[in-house]
Structure 1
Amino acid sequence: MSNPHANLERRRQAIYGWLLLSPAALLLSVFAFYPSLATLWSSTFSRGNRRNPSEYIGLENYADLFADPTFWLVVRNNLFYAGVTIPVSIFIALSMALWANSKIPARGFVRTAYFTPTVLPMIAAANLWLFFYTPGLGVLDQIGALFGLPSVNWLGQPETALWAIIIVTIWKEAGFFMIFYLAALQTIPEDLKEAADIEGASRWTYTRRIVLPLLMPTTLFIMVNAMINSVKLIDHLFILTKGGPSDASKLILYYIWEMAFAFFDAPHAAAMTMLVLLVLGIVAAIQFFFIDRRTHYQ
């Protein structure tokens, strides 16, 4: 026979657990699950107006996107943008953290200098770099003029516009990622360094064989955040290029905003949003089921 007191205790524990989960579940339902479902439903309807109300069209909006050359151009831009900003930002952040964690003079000043770009709003950072990129008057052209180089319209040429956006992003994000690496480095026991010194390991060997493996969970966390940022940062595009010239620097989130609020085509914008969520969901699943276990040596 089951113990009624044990059943009552299990029931109380279950109620207590659900009460703890309910605030997070409510917020996720209101601000994540419901908007996602509403966006999915909206993506299956046509664009309507007063004379022709929207109608259910299934997956036609997705087919239109796949047939749109601008969509594929934006996808290529975003893949290139992510492929450059993610590894370069992580490498620079790790290098800065290793240096800022070492015993150097004015270590506090170095850490503050590295972190300063992070506290600037992206709009302010974009305006600052707009001054750097301005043809003829900008800092880059002024420096180039000292060496006899011609003026370059960094933001007005398809060949350089996206690279200019990438540089701003790396400059802005590397300091932010450095903070996570710096915190992780300070959790590594000093005993490991002493043991490596006793064994005669060089500084590079200690970093490669001990520090970097221990930093892998932090690297994975930073990588996931960098991937999310690569599809959500559009503030600097409004200031610097507005996706131009000739869509050369247009990224997927800016294209979604443009489709929804400039062209008033909410269904296609909803379809693009769902594709982004699908890709991010697949990346998160790969991270959770495959990479995370290897990273934590489970």
Structure 2
Amino acid sequence: MSKKLTTGPAIIMLVIPCAILVAFTHYPAIMALINSFWNNASSRRPSRFVGADNYQAMLEDDRLMQVLINSTIYAVGTVPLAIGLAIGMALLVNSRLPGTAFMRLSFFLPTMLPMIAVANIWLFFYAPGIGLASQILGLFGLASINFLGQTETALGSMMFVAIWKEAGLFMIFYLAALQSVPTNLKDAAKLEGAGRVRVFIDVVLPLLRPTTIFVAVNALINAFRLVDHVVVMTEGGPNNSSALLLYYIYEVTFRQRDFAYGATLTVLMVVLLGFLAIIQFWVLNRKAHYQ
């Protein structure tokens, strides 16, 4: 009787999260895969099976190619820089410098803000002529730049915003990892004559590899699933120069009402993210040290 009383709540606590996971993750993914093999229904014409026609259309979609290039540039530009900045900030706030508590709050504050609020803040920052960026350029005698209105600068401007917002979150993980590094290993390296830089490269950085795997995978997923500040800041423009993959899926599905092609693009994103995550685990996990 007592065994039933103890296992009952455990089963309930296991079933509920699994049911939520299936309902909101696995089931939508399976339905997206199924819908990608059907055409778009209308009030006069029901949906019918079209096989791989949607995937054929995807291969011939020139705009999708531009979106994938933008997403690749965005991921390659934001993920390493955000991780590097997060490590630097974690080292700074983990030191014995005065004011580290204030620095932790300052670095983490952008992460606490909703992306919509962040996007609106940076809209004022990038505003040509009156924004803070234009004012700073004016101090050096440089002309004002429409950062979000030019194809050469729109994507880079959004990448800067993402790095500014996400680095503080990643800093928390690296700070926890730094505080768990055994001090005896660092002391042993110092006794061997290693300087601070050599201790960090040879001792600390390898021990941070599991954290880097976790952060890199999450940063890559965030880079491809970003949509809110694209909608607020550029709407994918100008001339699709800042359109990312999830924004394109949103536009196709909810603005153009092409649910079948939107499901096909969703399958592409899931497969792409899974493939990239596997590569990251394979590359970074080979020399990871787990305690």
Q: How high is the TM-score relative to the length of structure 2?
A: 0.93
The one-letter amino acid paired with 2:184 is D
Change in CA separation of 1:288 and 1:164 when aligned onto 2, cut-off 3 Å: closer
The one-character-per-residue Cα deviations of 1:93-114 (angstroms, maximum 9, x if unpaired) are 0011111111101111111111
Q: Quick one: distance in 2 between partners of 1:285 and 1:184?
A: 23
Q: Tell whether 2:122 aligns with 1:129.
A: yes
Shift of 1:119: 0.5
Aligned residue pairs total 287
**Contact 2:213/2:281, CA 8 A, preserved across alignment:** no
Structure 1 residues 290 and 117: CA distance shift in structure 2, 3 A: closer
SS class of match (2:49): coil
Q: CA RMSD of the aligned region, Å? A: 2.1
CA offset digits 1:144-175 (Å, max 9, x no partner): 11221111110000000000110000000011
Within 1, Cα distance between the matches of 2:66 and 2:178?
Answer: 40
Q: 1:197: Cα distance to partner?
A: 2.3
Aligned AA (1:262) = R
Q: Secondary structure at the match of 1:50?
A: coil
Unpaired runs of 5+ residues, structure 1, are 1-8
What is the identity, as a one-letter code, of the residue corresponding to 2:142? L
**1:120-143 Cα distance to aligned partner (Å, 9 max, x none):** 111111111111100000001011
Q: TM-score, normalising length from structure 1? A: 0.91
Instruction: Report the residue type matching 1:258 in the other structure.
Output: E
Distance 2:77 2:160 in 1: 10
CA distance in 2, matches of 1:248, 1:283: 23
Instruction: Return the offset for 1:192.
Output: 2.0
- Kindly state the Cα deviation for residue 226 of structure 1 after the two structures are TM-superposed: 0.4
Cα distance in structure 2, aligned partners of 1:258 and 1:77 = 16
Can you list the C-alpha shifts for 1:245-292, whole angstroms capped at 9, x where unaligned?
Answer: 011000000000000111000111100000111112223334556643
**1:108 is the counterpart of 2:110:** no
Q: Which amino acid counterpart does residue 34 of structure 1 have in structure 2?
A: Y
Aligned equivalent of 2:67: 74
Q: Does the alignment pair 1:183 with 2:172?
A: no
Which amino acid counterpart does residue 194 of structure 2 have in structure 1? A
Determine the structure 2 residue equivalent to 1:192: 185
- TM-superposed CA distance for 1:295, in Å, is 1.7
Tell me how far apart the structure 2 counterparts of residues 75 and 95 of structure 1 sit (CA, whole Å).
30
- The whole-number CA distance in structure 2 between the counterparts of 1:165 and 1:227 is 15
Match of 2:57 among 64, 67, 76: 64
3-state SS of 1:159 partner: coil
- Which residue of structure 1 lines up, in the alignment, with residue 278 of structure 2? 285
Instruction: Find the aligned partners of 2:9 and 2:130 in 1 and give their Cα distance.
Output: 64
**In terms of Rg, which structure is larger?**
1
CA distance in 1, matches of 2:22, 2:88: 40
Partner of 2:217: 224
Counterpart of 1:130, as a letter, is L
Change in CA separation of 1:80 and 1:287 when aligned onto 2, cut-off 3 Å:
closer
Counterpart of 1:60, as a letter, is: D
Cα deviation, residue 297, structure 1: 6.5
Question: Which stretches in structure 2 are left out of the alignment for 5+ residues?
Answer: none
Q: Residues 82 and 288 of structure 1: is their aligned pair in 2 closer, same or farther, counting only changes over 3 Å?
A: closer
Distance change >3 Å, CA 159–CA 33, structure 1 → 2: same
CA distance 1:297–1:175, shift in 2 (3 Å): closer
Q: Which residue type is aligned with residue 158 of structure 2?
A: I
1:21 positional shift: 4.1
